Amino acid sequence: MDWGRLSRAERDAAYNNTDAVANSADLNAERAEASRLIRTTDRAAVLDVPYGPAERQKFDLLPAADAAAPCLLFIHGGYWQRNSREGFSVLAAGVRAHGWSAALPSHTLAPEATMAEIVAEIGAALDWFAAHAKAHGIAGRVILAGWSAGGHLAAMWLDHPAVTAGLAIAGLFELGPLRDTYLNEKLRLRDEEIATLSPLRLPVVHKPLAIAYGTAELPALVANSRDFHAHRAAAHAPGALLPVAGADHFTVVNALRDPRGLLTTEVLRLADAA
């Protein structure tokens, strides 16, 4: 892809997952409804727990019967400008079937928050979690995961002391090209943010980080995952590259919903290897 020669429309299309997947609205609606059922029927769930003063700075906590069980801490996607934790509870179903806890934070969305502020909010969420999760029945080691923009945020906070290992699903690890697309209308990326908040430009964190992508995703998204894995591998950092066969940007997360799915299996392995 010769990025400099592409038209604005071609650049927009390179990152427009909604247009690329014809049934994306149906897939999102199904995931949201499945998550709503979990939030309304899971008697162990502790919902809407604040980790900061802003409206969206909240956690949903799903503690396991055993407080010492591992925990999947999952960050939602939406290009940092849409979605919320409430629509993603079902993605914990795979590990919950294995007796795990789960925790899902939200963050303020762009343009209300800058990229730097969003990244800082996830750090504040992890700080809160480290200090208070035990009081809510979650005391096991933490695997930090995220999808799409959440994959970026998971990569940014892999080095947090509360995090044992990570899983970045269909993430974005180089922010520079986004400034040339429709996404920047709300992100309003600054040069400093691109330089300091692009994981591909940062020193490698030597904790295990599995990087997953769907083989039917847009080429730009596939390249982000493959390039970031190569960046880490060059520094001898641990972590598998996991192409999910036939999956697009929205169906790739089904491998985390399924108790026997590829991504659930990898999360279990990451915890066992700790």
Q: pLDDT tens digits for 174-218? A: 999 999 999 999 999 999 999 999 999 999 999 999 999 999 999
Give the CA dihedral 75, 80, 83, 88, nearest 10 degrees: -20
Report pLDDT for 274: 75
Q: How many domains does the chain have?
A: 1
Short-list 238, 233, 245, CA closest to 273: 238
Alpha carbon distance 3, 109 (integer Å): 27
Short-list 137, 135, 133, 209, CA closest to 173: 209
Give per-residue pLDDT as tens, 89-137: 999 999 999 999 999 999 999 999 999 999 999 999 999 999 999 999 9
Cβ contact 146:125 at 8 Å: no
Partner residues linked to 75 by β-bridges = 146
Report pLDDT for 265: 98
Alpha carbon distance 59, 5 (integer Å): 43
* Long-range contacts at 176-179 (CB < 8 A, ≥ 24 apart): 177/3, 177/11, 177/14, 177/15, 177/220, 178/15
| Peptide bond preceding 259 in cis form (omega within 30 of 0) | no
**For 39-52, what is the mean pLDDT?**
95
Report pLDDT for 95: 98
The answer, yes or no, to whether residue 1 has pLDDT greater than 80, is no
Report pLDDT for 3: 87
Please report how the helices 115-132 and 149-156 are oriented relative to each other, as an axis angle in degrees rounded to 10. Answer: 60
Partner residues linked to 104 by β-bridges = 60
Task: Write the CATH number for 67.
Answer: 3.40.50.1820
Mean of per-residue pLDDT scores for the chain = 97
Percent residues over pLDDT 90 in the chain: 97
The residue segments making up the domain with residue 98 are 3-273
Find how far residue 42's CA is from the centre of its chain. Answer: 23
Report pLDDT for 157: 98
**From edge to edge, which strands make up the β-sheet containing 58-62?**
46-50, 58-62, 101-105, 71-75, 142-147, 163-169, 209-214, 241-244
